[in-house]
Structure 1
Amino acid sequence: MSEWAAKRFWTAATVAELAEGYTVHLDGRPVRTPAKAPVVLPTRALAAEIAAEWDAQAGEIVPASMPVTRAANATIDKVAHQHAEMARMLADYGDSDLLCYRADSPAELAARQAEAWDPLLDWAESELSARLETRTGLMPRPQHPETLDRLHREVEMLDNWAMTAFHDLVGISGSLIIGFAALRGAWPAHTLWQVSRLDEVWQQEQWGKDEDADRVARAKERDFVNAKRFHDLSRG
């Protein structure tokens, strides 16, 4: 038996201004989140992009084609109610950050890691006042507690909209520092994504590409770039 799928029922999606911000109307009716909460958005740019995603639907509604709408819903229904818990969870990445775990061999891979990742650690020390230490091998070694506390405070200061984007940027890349660099525009999102895949690219060079892994990587790159775009739209 085929599952029921929601179909387009509106003629036009439009942006409406509210006292608290902006929302989107479908033929004059305000959209709501899956939890039935009002959709109140911080910027017109974000509202306009969500309206465009609704307008792009033809026939059946395909949520996967609406990344900005889904991120806004997650912000309102989840992040706004779990901000402190999410901040703690994301800050924990600082103790096992991708950028800190280096190969001891081969020398070429170790050199690539240093060349690509050291500038990000230097940037974090300058911009976040947090210097993470590198390790060789895969065995975990804790970072200095004061450094982790500093990073935790930085995460806690993110507003709900930034936290939603940060959740994906960090989770997809495996790096708290890459997440912050993306939010702050220190490097282009595509560049940071490639930096996060340095080890995978090395393996591909040695053994060849795997089609399934390549497909997953492309999907993750799309999600990473969409998260950065969502953040930027929420700033205006």
Structure 2
Amino acid sequence: MSGWGQIKRFYNEAAAVESDGACRIELDGKPVKTPTGADLIVEQRKLAEAMADEWAAQGEEVAPLSMPLCRLVATAIDRVGSKRQEVEEITLKFAETDLLCYWADNPPELIARHQEQWRPLLDWASDELGASLDVTAGISPILQPVAALDALRESIEKLDNLRLIAVSSIAAATGSLVLAFALERGRITAEQTFRIAVVDEHFQMEQWGEDWEAKERHERILSDIEESSRLLKLIG
């Protein structure tokens, strides 16, 4: 299967099969291909088994959107494998406008939440990653120190392809590379990552009531974070 659109199920069994020190996914004994035609193969047995489970769990139709692990791994193989530098640059861009660096200038209650929830992670990024990012009040863009961005670039470059796609996905979901690295390194959980990322919206909901569009958006954000977090756990 090389194209990953929604199609009718055409196989009975899905399995993780060892191959040259790694594990590939097979459907009725035939290897699964990524959208570009590469073998869907990983080094981690637990990850491969979880990916095979996603295929096995499909009903009468195969729905790629219901297979987050396979989609993330396929993206790492197809995109990061061939365009790693581009993915690294896209990932680093999230630090230039990192959510945690844009605090409210009022009301005091929201500023206090930023201080309580965001400041510790900015301090952690400085200590753990060597990236001391500047903070501003309001939404006017600021330029981050070159040294901080260089430190984050170095951390990005050390990631293998699977970790890179997970970190990049978390940063995209939250608007924060700091949050992505904090989750990747075990500083915070997936649930904490979500709560910290939507602190502004939660504050507004407390004041004005829940908004269904915001609720749907939050569900997507949490889902993206949890999917990438699961990938990180299976990588080990």
Taking structure 1 as the reference length, the TM-score comes to: 0.95
Match runs of 1:10-21 below 5 Å: 10-21=11-22
Q: Secondary structure at the match of 2:118?
A: helix
Spell out structure 1 runs of 4+ moving beyond 4 A: none
Structure scoring higher RCO (CA < 8 A, sep ≥ 6) equals 1
What is residue 125 of structure 1 aligned with on the other side? 126
Give the deviation of 1:131 after TM superposition. 1.2
> For residue 101 of structure 1, what is the amino acid of its counterpart?
Y
Q: Tell me which residue corresponds to 1:139.
A: 140
| Per-residue CA distance 1:162-208 (angstroms, 9 max, x = gap) | 11111110001110100000111111111111101001111111111
Distance of 2:49 and 2:62 partners within structure 1: 18
Q: Which amino acid aligns with 2:94?
A: Y
Q: CA deviation at 1:81?
A: 1.0
The one-letter amino acid of 2:15's match is T
**In structure 2, distance between residues paired with 1:211 and 1:101:** 25
1:70 and 1:203 map into 2 onto residues whose CA distance is 34
Taking the aligned partners of 1:111 and 1:34, their CA distance within structure 2 comes to: 47
Distance 2:6 2:181 in 1: 38
Q: Match of 1:181? A: 182
User: Could you list the per-position Cα deviations for residues 201-230 of structure 1 after superposition, in whole angstroms to 9, with x for gaps in the alignment?
Assistant: 111111111112201211220111101111
| Superposition deviation, residue 76 in structure 1 | 1.0
- Offset at residue 231 of structure 1 (A): 2.0
Structure 1 unaligned blocks of 5 or more:
none
Gaps of 5+ in 2: none
Equivalent position of 1:55 in the other structure: 56
In structure 2, what is the Cα distance between the partners aligned to 1:174 and 1:58?
34
2:25 counterpart SS class: strand
Structure 1 residues 75-224: aligned runs within 5 Å? 75-224=76-225
Q: How many residues align?
A: 232
Provide closer, same or farther for how the CA distance between residues 5 and 227 of structure 1 changes in structure 2, counting only shifts above 3 A: closer
Verify the 8 A CA contact 1:95 1:142 in the aligned structure 2: yes
Contact 2:100 2:122 in 1 (8 A): yes
SS in 1 for 2:15: strand
- 1:215-234 equivalent positions in 2, closer than 5 A: 215-234=216-235
Distance (whole Å) between structure 1 residues aligned to residue 160 and residue 131 of structure 2: 20
Distance 2:141 2:28 in 1: 55
Q: Deviations over 1:67-126 (max 9, x none)?
A: 111111111111111111111121122221111111111111101111000110111111
Whether contact under 8 Å (1:20, 1:40) holds in the other structure is no
In 1, the alpha carbon distance for the partners of 2:210 and 2:32 equals: 43
Q: What letter matches 1:135 in structure 2?
A: T
Over the residues paired in the alignment, what is the CA RMSD in angstroms? 1.3
Provide the rounded CA distance (Å) in 1 between the counterparts of 2:90 and 2:7: 34
